Amino acid sequence: MKRFDAIKRIVETIDDEFIISNIGFPSRELFGIKDRKNTFYMSGSMGMATPIGLGLSLALEEKDDDRKVIVIDGDGSLLMNFGELITVFAQNPHNLIIALIDNEAYGSTGSQETYASKVNLSDIAKSIGFKEVYYIDARNSTDNLNMNDYVDKEGPVFLHVKVKPGNSDAPIIDLSPSKIKNRFMKQI
Ligand SMILES: Cc1ncc(C[n+]2csc(CCOP(=O)(O)OP(=O)(O)O)c2C)c(N)n1
């Protein structure tokens, strides 16, 4: 299975959680599967979806708002801003789930190989100190991916989903960045 299948499964098995999605095809695929007002399609830089998710998680915690934040991130983006995992661990947000869709590639720009084929990203999360670390091999099936198994865990949760590389025929997101931001903020 590819990134598209994993994202579809994530969307099918969640409720009204906030989603922050990674730049490029992950956001486009998510938009094509189901556009939701409580999704923030991050269209800036690699390595910024998780920091944005962390900021939102901390802000919700401060308001005693118990809604959850799911970040759909990519291996290339995580590797580009690796310090984000350490910051998340240190800040310890209880409501944050990082769903790392690992296709061992910079999928959105032509599937050039990343070093995720050489290092195990969930082992790294464990070594940082994350307590809730899960690895799902979804290369042949996404049946074992169900967000209900993770959303009620005491975060931060690091969910590592291995998929095959490849993009689907996903639409362009026909919403302006300010529209995406404003409608998302209204949900908060
Ligand atoms: C700092 C930065 N460098 C390069 C790009 C161009 N770019 C956009 S998406 C992408 C690949 C992202 O790969 P990954 O995070 O693994 O996600 P995937 O597309 O494989 O799901 C690249 C290189 C960017 N947006 N930001």
Structural domains in the chain, sorted by start: 3-187 (3.40.50.970)
Task: State the average pLDDT over residues 143-152.
Answer: 96
* Mean pLDDT within 152-178: 97
Mean pLDDT computed over 101-120: 97
Is 105 a pocket residue for ligand 1 (Cβ < 6 Å)?
A: yes
- How far CA 44 is from CA of 49, 77, 154, 178, in Å, comes to 9, 12, 29, 12
Confidence at 76, pLDDT banded by 50, 70, 90: very high
The reported pLDDT for the residue numbered 183 is 97
Ligand 1 pocket, residue 51 CB under 6 Å: no
Cβ-based neighbours of 185, under 8 Å, separated by 6 or more:
none
Relative to beta strand 69-74, strand 96-102 is parallel
Report the nearest-CA residue for atom 12 of ligand 1.
106
* Mean pLDDT of the residues in the chain: 97
pLDDT at 179: 97
- Out of 79, 106, 113, 114, mutate this one to test ligand 1's pocket (max ligand atoms within 8 Å of CB): namely 106
Residue reference for tokens 């869709």: 101
77 within ligand 1 shell (Cβ under 6 A): yes
Check pocket membership of 50 for ligand 1, CB cut-off 6 A: no
Task: Report pLDDT for 139.
Answer: 98
Ligand 1 within 6 A of CB of 2: no
Number of H helices, E strands in the chain: 7, 8
- pLDDT value for 53: 98
